[in-house]
Amino acid sequence: MAIKLGENSYGKSRVRLLRVVRQNGRHDIKELTLAIRFEGDFEAAHVRGDNSKILPTDTMKNTVYALARQYPVEAVEEFCLHLVEHFLTYNPQVFLVDVEASENLWGRITHGGKPHPSAFMRSGEKRTARVTGTREGNTIHGGIDGLVVLKTTKSAFEGFLRDPYTTLKEDRNRILSTVIRAQWRYEGNEIEFSPVWHAARQTILDTFAEHDSHSLQHTLYAMGEAVLQSMDNIREIHLSLPNKHFNLVDLSPFGMDNPAEVFVATDEPHGLIEATLRKE
């Protein structure tokens, strides 16, 4: 019986990087976590134990640090492009390079009413990027992860399907909360990644805040639609939204009413809504 090697890849994950840019009187920082993956001609390594076409994953890690010294890390998408270009240039046995990056977002600590020049605090939100490159071209994604949002009005959930096990009550004015994870695909050659990223993020937040939501699906579509309609450099967007529930507490056993003021947070289980929107 003949055995044939199928799809295969290898790479380095969880490469951690802190880049400090030191200027007179001011420091700037970028903290990234990267994953690098190669697809290519690696059959000999699998079948015969011949490693002559295997670039060590330790070298991938070292390359991240070396290129971080050579290039600015202002836009994470640009840094991923530098990595893809480097690996494709020096590794003819590699057909495809995939680089994913997640950036922890740091802000400045306020000191004396002013942003401190060299002391920082971190939010839970992350900026993400993914670049997949071959010798024919690159596919570039940007995104957001861990952006927690909540609103206390303009959210309802009514008219849903019921079966014998449905106990959920309809709600015309519920709390809507989620943790936004979005990834969009750029198109075009001359893209200013950071301005586009900030504009897409703000569009998502503005839409969430003002949308008259009939469900989390309804709001997801509105956010994605707004990004695609307002951003010429974004071709498609994928959104993943867990429904973070806040349930009204029954205070009647204590002789009290509760006019939608006291809630309890429930983390698990939660709904998960996902969809991809794209321009035709």
Which of the residues are catalytic? Answer: 12, 57, 245
Task: Count the alpha carbons within 13 Å of 255 in the hemisphere toward its beta carbon.
Answer: 0
- For 80, residues 6+ apart whose C-beta sits below 8 A from its C-beta are 34, 99, 100, 101, 129, 130, 131, 140
How far apart CA 251 and CA 75 sit, in angstroms, is: 50
CA distances from 36 to 84, 93, 123, 154 (A): 9, 16, 25, 42
Q: Which letter, b or e, does each residue of 235-258 get, where b requires 16 or more Cβ atoms within 10 Å of its Cβ?
A: ebbbbbbbbbbeebeeeeeeeeee
**Sign of torsion, CA 200 206 209 210?**
negative
Report the side by side order of strands in the sheet with 234-248. 10-23, 26-40, 94-111, 114-134, 137-151, 176-186, 234-248, 263-278
Q: Hey, which residues does 238 pair with through a beta bridge?
A: 183, 276
| Both tokens assigned to 28 | 């700037």
CA distances from 37 to 18, 45, 95, 181 (A): 21, 16, 11, 22
Q: Tokens 């057909």, residue?
A: 95
94 within 8 A of 117, measured Cβ to Cβ: no
